[in-house]
Amino acid sequence: MKKIKTLVIIVLALILASAAALAVNTAMNKTVKLTRYTFRHNDVPYNFDGYKIFLIADLHEAPFAEQILAHIENTSPDVIIFCGDMVQLPGYSFEETKKIAENVGDTIPMYAVSGNHESQNEEYEHIIGNLWDVGIVWLENDYKKIKKDGDIIWLIGAKDSGKNELWEEEVREDVISKIEGFIPEDSEEFSILINHRADMYPYLKNIGVDLILSGHMHGGIIRLPFLGGVIGHDIYDNSIFPAYDYGFYSEGAAAMIVSGGCDQNASKKRYFNQPEVVLITLDR
């Protein structure tokens, strides 16, 4: 009888713990956190010391515009970057991104590149045109020299390939060939590459930029303590514990910061992986 009672107590404890964990996770998924990074580099120009970059990745039309706008108001960034997947296939709505852009207006410059949910979308041109209309500069296979008191930094945008076969060499080379011409010839000029797919990092880390901003991996969808993200389909076919799922990486000439994204996708339900936006402060 004692053993039965002990077993019942253990089962009930597990049920209660699971219910509590589920409740915590549900609450987490409704709140967008702000993750801060300081990126220190010798080539950061004097007048860009303290420059703040607000990174939004993988929004997927989740209803988080108001929370994101609150973070923008509280941090007063110098620039806002949309790092792809603003829409959710098969749809092409981007109302949440539009709300953010319309509220920001012309007070903060905004730039964007496509993710696979834009590049593979039948309404790609419609999406681009309408985002331009609300003040977001579409920076794909193109660059912008951002100026501040006589100093400049390079902001380079990579267009998503629109293909999932990134393990094929010709697909990777096509992406790389279209952005190589925008890399500063002077290696001491500070440059940032915006590239949606973090799993391209091994092929971009020595391309000649200083910092890469990415997303796409959704933080591994499920995150476990000490183990990180669990689920991912990257170019190495790392379906479990993907290589570049979240956070800061420094394996080559360029470092990379990967956002965990801020989606609310029923087909990729996040577990212990709170939606996030990212603030990066440059430090000379």
Alpha-carbon span 228 to 258, nearest angstrom: 13
Alpha-carbon span 156 to 230, nearest angstrom: 30
Residues 150 and 247 in one domain: yes
Residue 158's nearest CA partner among 146, 142, 169 is 142
Residues 6 and 105 in one domain: no
Tally of CB atoms within 10 A around 115: 27
Q: How confident is the model at residue 233 (pLDDT cuts 50, 70, 90)?
A: low
Give the CATH number of the domain where residue 255 resides. Answer: 3.60.21.10
Residues 8 and 102 in one domain: no
Residues 62 and 171 in one domain: yes
Alpha-carbon span 164 to 42, nearest angstrom: 36
Three-state DSSP at 231 gives: strand
Beta strand extents in the chain (DSSP E only): 33-40, 52-56, 79-83, 110-113, 136-138, 142-148, 151-157, 191-197, 211-215, 223-224, 228-229, 247-250, 255-258, 276-283
Alpha-carbon span 44 to 41, nearest angstrom: 6
Span 199-229, pLDDT tens digits: 999 999 999 999 999 999 999 888 988 788 8
Alpha-carbon span 99 to 135, nearest angstrom: 11
CA dist list (Å): 240 to 165, 225, 230, 245, 271: 18, 15, 5, 11, 15
What pLDDT, on a 0 to 100 scale, did the predictor assign at position 172? 82
What pLDDT, on a 0 to 100 scale, did the predictor assign at position 240? 84
Q: How confident is the model at residue 63 (pLDDT cuts 50, 70, 90)?
A: very high
Span 28-59, pLDDT tens digits: 689 999 999 999 999 999 999 999 999 999 99
Residue 265's nearest CA partner among 234, 219, 227 is 219
What pLDDT, on a 0 to 100 scale, did the predictor assign at position 108? 97
Residues 138 and 24 in one domain: no
Predicted confidence (pLDDT) at residue 14 exceeds the cutoff of 60: no
Q: What is the CA radius of gyration of the chain?
A: 20
- Listed in sequence order, the residues at least 6 apart from 163 whose beta carbon sits closer than 8 Å to its beta carbon are 171
Q: What is the largest CA-CA distance in the chain?
A: 81
**Dihedrals phi, psi of 151, to nearest 5 degrees:** -95, 160
Residues 52 and 119 in one domain: yes
Residues 148 and 172 in one domain: yes
Residues 138 and 234 in one domain: yes
What pLDDT, on a 0 to 100 scale, did the predictor assign at position 264? 87
Residues 8 and 83 in one domain: no
Q: How confident is the model at residue 268 (pLDDT cuts 50, 70, 90)?
A: confident
Residues 171 and 261 in one domain: yes
The total number of structural domains in the chain stands at: 2
Residue 235 or 122, more confident: 122
Residue 55's nearest CA partner among 246, 207, 194, 221 is 194
Span 102-138, pLDDT tens digits: 999 999 999 999 999 999 999 999 999 999 999 999 9
Tell me the H-state helices in the chain. Answer: 2-28, 65-75, 95-104, 116-119, 124-133, 169-180, 201-204
Residues 15 and 104 in one domain: no
Alpha-carbon span 29 to 109, nearest angstrom: 28
Residues 266 and 184 in one domain: yes
Domain span at 23: 1-30
Alpha-carbon span 85 to 61, nearest angstrom: 9
Span 151-198, pLDDT tens digits: 999 999 999 988 877 767 877 888 889 998 889 988 889 999 999 999
Residue with tokens 């390939």: 161
- Listed in sequence order, the residues at least 6 apart from 56 whose beta carbon sits closer than 8 Å to its beta carbon are 68, 80, 81, 82, 83, 100, 259, 262, 277
